[in-house]
Amino acid sequence: MEEERTEAWWARRAWALLSAVRERAPLVQCITNLVSMDIAANALTAAGASPAMLHCLREIPDFTPRCDAVCINVGTLSEEWLPSMRAAASAGRPWVLDPVAVAASGFRMEACLELLALRPAVVRGNASEILALAARSDSSSSSFKGVDSSHDSGEALQAAKALARSSGAVIAVSGAVDFITDGEQVISASNGVAMMQKITATGCAVTALIAAFVGADPSDALAAAASALAIFGLAGEIGMECAKGPASLRMHLIDALYGLDEQTVTSAVKIALVP
């Protein structure tokens, strides 16, 4: 008989996956935006993974096949970087897409749709990004406000399910509650603090962390994405206990991620199946 997937079961799963990251130290190539490079590399290192911020097209055939996972983030997309993204996404490694500000331009939308067709294991975006991607919306979308979301994650849930079914990827919508879906099951991850939105590139950092979790155990992208989001949110909650504002939260969040132990994770991670 299959074990019931209670909140306690999910918390143990999250701990097992964080432990796998620490033991296996997955090599994660990040082709990510210039704003996020530092926080994403530090979040990965603090969690136990091994980041490599490489985006030179000529290095990809040698380097990417040796990686455990790849994170591709279009936040500072350029014509020069898109071929590297295509090549890395096609290198046969599990990979994760962050469609930052996907509705900013037709070029960015087309790039994200093209990358989506290269079968990411997971797409993680905020609600506005997932809504735009799912609707294949154009840059005239009236609610578009750049890299930040103007929607709650719940508003994007149906769009996320549809996008998961059409793309074959696990779709993760971040927000006060994160929703993660493979198009059938929906999982919620409810850790985190609102102040995380006041630190630039926390979304990018958690996408990189999802790639690390997928790299440590590629067998279950849904569990990897939910666990990484919950663990990152929990680090934010613990960091907030000492933080005075966004800058000190950034520091304390990374410290908390590094210091997470079994008792804390299994008692405080909040992941649940959404009925």
> Could you list the residues that contact ligand TZP (CB under 6 A)?
33, 35-36, 75-76, 100, 147, 200-204
33 touches, from ligand TZP, ligand ADP, Mg ion, none (C-beta below 5 to 8 Å by class):
ligand TZP
Pattern 137-176, binding to ligand ADP, x per CB under 6 A? -----------xx------------------------xxx
Please report the sign of the dihedral spanned by the C-alpha atoms of residue 233, residue 73, residue 167, residue 16.
negative
Pattern 65-104, binding to Mg ion, x per CB under 5 A? -----------------------------------x----
The verdict on 120 binding Mg ion (CB under 5 A) reads no
Residue given tokens 């929703």 in the structure block = 179
Q: Which residues contact 182 (CB under 8 A, 6 or more apart)?
A: 164, 170, 171, 221, 222
The verdict on 203 binding Mg ion (CB under 5 A) reads yes
- Which one, 76 or 137, has the nearer CB to ligand TZP? 76
CA dist 41 → 48, 151, 236 (Å): 11, 28, 17
Dist CA 229 CA 144 (whole Å) = 24
Q: Which stretch binds ligand ADP (CB under 6 A): 65-73, 77-85, 187-195, 215-223?
A: 187-195
* Residues numbered 54-83 forming contacts with ligand ADP, rule: CB under 6 A: none
The candidate with the shortest Cα–Cα distance to 185, out of 119, 272, 107, 73, is 272
Beta-ladder partners of 50: 27
Residues that bind ligand ADP (CB under 6 A): 126, 148-149, 174-176, 178, 192-194, 196-197, 202-203, 206, 229, 232-233
